[in-house]
Amino acid sequence: MTSNLHDEVRDFLTSRRARTTPDDVGLLHAGSRRVPGLRREEVAALAGVSVEYYKRLERGNLRGVSDSVLDALARALRLDEAERTHLRNFARAAGRSSAERDQPVVRTVRPALVRLLESMTGTAAGVLNDRLDVLAANSLGRALYSDVFGDPARSNLARYTFLDSRSTRFYPRWEAMADETVAILRTAVSKNPDDRELGELTAELSASSEHFRTRWAAHDVRFHRTGVKDLHHPVVGDLVLSYEAMDLPSDPGLTLLAYTAEAGSRAEDSLRMLGSHAAKAAHEGR
C-alpha cells in the first residue's frame, strides 16, 4: 500500500472520529476531554475491536480488513452511505497488487458513446472521468459549458470551478457547487489513490485556491447521482436543470452526465434557444 493511501485513510478516519461526539453515540458520561470528538479507545469499543487494532486502522493500514470490521467501524463513526463506500474503496485499494494499481486511467471515449451523446437532442450531455475532465460532449453540452470548452487544455470542471472567475457567475450557488466538486474528487482518490494526474490536479488546486484547500482538508465525500442545478448562462440567462450522473459499467471510471429541463418550463425554452444559438454559431464558423 502506498504512503499516499496510508495518509488518506489516516486523515479520513481521524476527521470522522473528530466530528463524532460522545452524545452522538450515547456516551453520556464520557468525562472531561480536551477535544469534542471520540477517543480511539471509544471507537475501538464501539466497533468491537481492540484498541491496538483500531490504532493500526487509523494509521492507514486497511490491508486484509474484513467487511464485518469495516461495517462495525462505519457504525461506530456514524458514516453515511457515501462515507461507507469511501472506506470500502480504500480497503479494496489496499488489497490490490502493484500491477492492478498501475492500470491506465481511461482517457478516450468510444465512438459508440460519442454517437449516443450526439443523438441526445434537447439534452445537454457529456462524459467525464473521475478527475472531472470533460472527455466528450454533445453540441448542447458544449454550448451549456461554453466557458469550459473555450480552452481545450483546461476542460476540467474542478479547474473551472476554482480557477476561473466566471464560474461564480455561472454557478449562482457557487459555494454548494464547490463543496460538491471537492467531494467528487475526494471519492475519486479512494477509488484510485495511485492516479498521478489526480494527485497533480489536487496539488495544483490546493496551491492556487484557498477555497479548494479548506474544503480538501475536510475529507468530505458524497454521491453525485441526481439533483437540480441552478445555472446562469451568458447567452440565455438563468436555468434550472435536472441532472443525472450515470456510471458506465463498460467504461470503468467514466460517467455520463445529462442535463434536462422540465417540459413546458422556461428552462426548456432556454435550452432550445441555446441549441439554436450553438447551431447558428457552428454554421457561421464553417
* Cα–Cα distance for residue pair 179/185, rounded to 1 Å: 10
Q: Where in the chain is the domain with CATH 1.10.260.40?
A: 3-101
pTM of the full predicted structure?
A: 0.90
Share of the chain above pLDDT 70, in %: 91
Per-residue pLDDT, 278: 81
Lowest mean per-residue pLDDT among 17-31, 124-138, 157-171, 200-214: 17-31
CATH code 3.30.450.180 for 111-285 = yes
> Taking residues 1-17, what's their average pLDDT?
84
| pLDDT at site 1 | 38
pLDDT of residue 95: 86
Set of cell numbers at residue 279: 447551431
The pLDDT, as a whole number, for residue 149 is: 86
- Location of C-alpha cell 479494496: 92
Q: What is the pLDDT of residue 125?
A: 96
Question: Under DSSP, is residue 238 helix (H, G, I), strand (E, B) or coil?
Answer: strand
The string of pLDDT tens digits covering residues 167-208 is: 999 999 999 999 999 999 999 999 888 888 999 999 999 999
CA distance 2 to 168: 36
Task: Please give the CATH superfamily to which domain 3-101 belongs.
Answer: lambda repressor-like DNA-binding domains (1.10.260.40)
Residues 249-270 as b/e (b if ≥16 CB within 10 A, e otherwise) read eebebbbbbbbbbeeeeebbeb
C-alpha span between 242 and 226 (Å, rounded): 7
Better-predicted residue by pLDDT, 155 or 55: 55
What DSSP string runs through 146-211? HHHHTSGGG-BHHHHHHH-TTHHHH-TTHHHHHHHHHHHHHHHHHH-TT-HHHHHHHHHHHHH-HH
In the chain, the percentage of residues whose pLDDT exceeds 90 is 74
Taking the C-alpha atoms of residue 118 and residue 136, their distance in angstroms, rounded to an integer, is 10
- Region 69-96: mean pLDDT is 94
Average pLDDT for the chain = 90
Q: How far apart are CA 65 and CA 11, in angstroms?
A: 18
Ranking 29-33, 91-95, 112-116, 251-255 by mean pLDDT, the lowest is 29-33
Q: Which part of the chain has CATH 3.30.450.180?
A: 111-285
Given a cut of 60, whether residue 146 has pLDDT beyond it is yes
Rounded to 10°, the helix 174-191/196-208 angle is 150
